[in-house]
Amino acid sequence: MALYLLKPILWNTKRYVSPSGVRAAAKSYPGQHGFGHEEWNNSPRMAFSEHGQRYHVFHTEGVKKAPVDEHAGQTFVLMTASHDGIQQLVGVAGNAMYLGAERYKVERQRIAKLLNIEDLWRDVWDTPRVRGLFNNDEDKFHHVFQQDIDWVPNWICPTDFFMWLEEPVTLNPQSIIGSDRLPQMFSSYQALERDAIAMVMNSVPTKQRSETWERLLDAIHSSPTEPVPLLSGGDYADAPATTRLSHILARVGQGGFRDALMVKWGSRCAVTGLTCPELLRASHVKPWSRSSQRERLDPNNGLLLAAHLDALFDRGLITFDDTGNMLLSSRLQADERKHFGLPMALRLPPDNALKAYLAHHRNELFDRS
């Protein structure tokens, strides 16, 4: 399964395009220096292209013992900020790779040089709070800033899976983790289950549900049920992070699988004809965990389904025969069937390739009890 992390970062009042000089705990890095390395997370200066793919780097403090190496390229990071007595979601990164370990220092240095991060010191020095903490000693500040240049880009993800909110979204900690407070210390994190992450994503108001939001939510719902190992050995051990991410995304097929199903089904639910993209899910017929690499990426092994039908199909409560007619599990009671208007058939009869996958779903996953 993918790794889902809720990670606290410093609050910023300039939409994270430059430091804003907010106060922080006295013993923290921002408290001592007047800025945090995450304050450029939403800056276009943190994006670059390599091998035809766009990437975005961003920063959080360390992740301690979180299994980020095992889930490289399969980590979803939900960044939250605490301020004025509330805790808000400010940004989300999917299919991310953590570069904070010492063995990635050379790669961080390469990216920092590529993005000319050294020049960001000018943004910081323009902040009155920083000048005050350094007693207007520019040379002293510049020396401190240079020491951590390569620490700024300690995460990387595809730009297509990076979303920064126009307006932060206030979260309800009780509904997410059953506690009064989400983690607040920058060095802490909270590992969440998929359903909790989906709940946080669904707290984003409709007006902010962009194409990236749709892509992220779909990736969360269709994320692997087991880690996809990175290639090892040979020159790959020293390959850039972008090469590693490209490999992982190619194997997982996130984004491309959904796009292929959108084309195949005309951007409409395969059953209801629903066109609202926020409510459409790219559902594997033969589950990802049971599929070969070819099958995982095969659009014939997929149905574009409205969210409620995706949930029923995923749990084996509905399936389809070779003509496209829907079969219902006896576990679905009469009132539930009436509520969802079931059964309903596929809008288009299955072709032979889809029939083979549907046969697997009927025989192996459909709940006949």
Q: Print the SS3 string covering 266-294.
A: CCCCCCCCCCCHHHEEEEECCCHHHCCHH
Pick the last residue of a domain from 188, 204, 220: 204
3-state secondary structure of 179: coil
The reported pLDDT for the residue numbered 233 is 46
The reported pLDDT for the residue numbered 229 is 56
The reported pLDDT for the residue numbered 352 is 95
User: Looking at the domain assignment, is residue 241 inside a domain?
Assistant: no
Name the residue type at position 62.
G
Identify whether residues 46 and 186 lie together within a single domain: yes
User: Looking at the domain assignment, is residue 351 inside a domain?
Assistant: yes
Identify whether residues 323 and 193 lie together within a single domain: no
The reported pLDDT for the residue numbered 350 is 95
CB 62, CB 122: distance < 8 Å: no
Identify whether residues 96 and 196 lie together within a single domain: yes
Pick the last residue of a domain from 139, 169, 204: 204
Helices 194-202 and 211-221 sit at what angle, rounded to 10 degrees? 160
CB 72, CB 244: distance < 8 Å: yes
What is the average pLDDT across 266-281?
90
Instruction: Looking at mean pLDDT, say which of 143-157, 241-255, 295-309 comes out highest.
Output: 143-157
Phi–psi pair at 53, nearest 5 degrees = -120, 140
Model confidence at 343: pLDDT above 60 = yes
What is the average pLDDT across 308-328?
94
Identify whether residues 196 and 301 lie together within a single domain: no
> pLDDT of 72-93, one tens digit each?
888 999 999 999 999 999 999 9
pLDDT band of 319, cuts 50, 70, 90: very high
What stretch of H or E contains 6? strand 3-8
User: Looking at the domain assignment, is residue 312 inside a domain?
Assistant: yes
User: Looking at the domain assignment, is residue 7 inside a domain?
Assistant: yes
Model confidence at 234: pLDDT above 50 = no
Model confidence at 5: pLDDT above 90 = yes
pLDDT band of 250, cuts 50, 70, 90: low
* pTM score: 0.74
Q: Domain residues for 352?
A: 255-365
User: Looking at the domain assignment, is residue 177 inside a domain?
Assistant: yes
In angstroms, rounded to a whole number, what is the distance separating the alpha carbons of residues 334 and 342? 9
- Number of domains forming the structure of the chain: 2
Identify whether residues 327 and 200 lie together within a single domain: no
pLDDT band of 98, cuts 50, 70, 90: very high
User: Looking at the domain assignment, is residue 292 inside a domain?
Assistant: yes
Lowest mean per-residue pLDDT among 43-57, 131-145, 239-253, 292-306? 239-253
User: Looking at the domain assignment, is residue 211 inside a domain?
Assistant: no
Model confidence at 160: pLDDT above 60 = yes
User: Looking at the domain assignment, is residue 150 inside a domain?
Assistant: yes
pLDDT band of 165, cuts 50, 70, 90: very high
Identify whether residues 167 and 280 lie together within a single domain: no
Pick the last residue of a domain from 179, 204, 229: 204
Identify whether residues 17 and 94 lie together within a single domain: yes
The reported pLDDT for the residue numbered 260 is 85
Identify whether residues 107 and 169 lie together within a single domain: yes
What is the average pLDDT across 313-337?
94
3-state secondary structure of 14: coil
Q: Residue ranges of the alpha helices (H) in 8-151? A: 29-33, 105-114, 121-125, 128-133, 138-147
